[in-house]
Amino acid sequence: VIRRLDYLGPMSSPDGWRPEPRLPEVAFSGRSNVGKSSLINKLVRRKGWARVSNTPGRTREIHFFDVNGQFALVDLPGYGYARISKERKAEWRPLIEGFLRHSPRLQGVVQLLDVRHDPSGDDLQMLDFLSEIEVPTIIVATKVDKMKRAEASARVLATAAALGMEESQIIPFSAVTGEGRDELASAIADLVAQ
């Protein structure tokens, strides 16, 4: 249950300001449009919490939130937007990778994948990076309400196979119906408790 949600501020460059890592941190990662803002909204049950991170010009920063004084929710910039320029890519990779590599209290990453699509090259790069730095990763398949249940299950199975994982390691999620919300919340609580 979320009792308190405080915005702590942005990090905008690899060696730039970031909040003191007082709390265990859980980062949310995914390509633009994967449904990250919608998922976090549902998770923290705060409509409009994501306003800061969706403000034009601020979508390429990392945003930190204190949840109940228990953990820091870290909203990473969405990557891999189809029309993103090489230059911009050159900016976000060091920022995201630098944060993930050098955060002493990072407990885990919630990696979002759109259930309707195969993981993109950027998704696979991110997953490789996460396994290289050995950070616990929760995979969430977003927007499952957009498909028939059987179809969505088949997609989750295919994604698990493609990633060499068990189906049970992927949480099917819908920001519309709330499916997967409690499962995700308890997976995050487990990470934070470690």
Contacting positions for ligand GDP (CB under 6 A): 30, 32-38, 78, 142-143, 145-146, 174-176
Residue 91 tokens read as: 């900016």
Give CA–CA dist 70/124, Å, rounded. 30
Give CA–CA dist 132/124, Å, rounded. 12
| Smallest separation, CB 78 to ligand GDP (Å) | 5
Three-state DSSP string of 95-149: HHHHHHHHCCCEEEEEEEEECCCCCCHHHHHHHHHHHHCCCCEEEEEECHHHCCH
Q: Which is nearer to ligand GDP, 133 or 176 (CB)?
A: 176
Q: Which is nearer to ligand GDP, 145 or 183 (CB)?
A: 145
| Smallest separation, CB 104 to ligand GDP (Å) | 27
Tell me how far apart the terminal alpha carbons of the chain are, to the nearest angstrom: 19
Q: Which is nearer to ligand GDP, 36 or 63 (CB)?
A: 36
Q: Helices (DSSP H) in the chain: which residue ranges?
A: 36-44, 51-54, 86-102, 121-132, 149-163, 181-193
Q: Return the bridge partners of 109, or none.
A: 27, 137
| Smallest separation, CB 16 to ligand GDP (Å) | 22
| Smallest separation, CB 33 to ligand GDP (Å) | 4
Q: Determine the angle formed by the axes of helices 181-193 and 36-44, rounding to 10 degrees.
A: 80
Closest CA to 25 of 117, 100, 90, 122: 100
| Smallest separation, CB 24 to ligand GDP (Å) | 23
Give CA–CA dist 34/42, Å, rounded. 14
| Smallest separation, CB 42 to ligand GDP (Å) | 8
Q: Which is nearer to ligand GDP, 93 or 181 (CB)?
A: 181
Q: Which is nearer to ligand GDP, 80 or 108 (CB)?
A: 80
Q: Which is nearer to ligand GDP, 108 or 180 (CB)?
A: 180
